Amino acid sequence: MSDALLVERARRGDAAAFESLVRQHYRAAYSVALAVLGNGMDAEDACQDAFIKALERLDEVRKPERFVAWLMQIVRNRARNLRNYRRVRNAKPLETVAAAGPSNPGADAERSELRGRLETALGDLSEIQREVVLLHDLHGWKHGEIAGALDISNGMSRQHLYNARKLLRERLGVSTLEEYSND
């Protein structure tokens, strides 16, 4: 079902349509939030906040077929607000903890360590580089989709991806990436 139809139904209070929008776009939203905030837990908070905010403001969507680009703006704003709040309050330092409860302590510890290293390495990129590399390599979008959602050109998307990957490889080391990609 298209985004336009799902948005129309969600506007009328259709819970299943709203859930479909969440399921379809959560990973993209998470990628953008993670790019801004730098850790998974905060990114999850920002995503939940953003989806609720998006529902509240759903009547403002003028082009429902471009819902995802509109949603990404909300996610980015909510993530930046949360980041500023964290900075001001300094109540919760950025941490690289595992998001899930441990079901297999050994594997989870390894996964948690990798997550931490990836998040640290991502911290050395610019926000736009993080957004592009996560949307491309984590979420699986193509440059056209990234360009549309982030309001940049295809060429810039390619450039950011190239630079981001190069920096990440330098930070993480080829062996680390190979080790994990063989999992």
Residues near other proteins (CB under 8 A): 10-15, 18-19, 22-23, 26-27, 30, 34, 40, 43-44, 47-48, 51-52, 55-56, 99-100, 111, 114-115, 118-119, 133-134, 136-138, 165, 168-169, 177, 180-181, 183
Tell me the angle at which helices 143-150 and 67-89 cross, rounded to the nearest 10 degrees.
60
Distances (CA, A) of 64 to 10, 96, 144, 148, 182: 11, 36, 18, 14, 40
Q: Where are the beta strands (DSSP E) in 3-160?
A: none
End-to-end Cα separation, the chain, in angstroms: 34
Minimum Å distance from CB 130 to other proteins? 11
Cβ 175 to other proteins shortest distance, Å: 13
Report, in Å, the least distance between residue 34 CB and other proteins.
7
Minimum CB–partner distance for residue 93 and other proteins (Å): 19
Which residue, 125 or 150, is less far from other proteins as judged by CB?
125
Token pair for 119: 């998040």
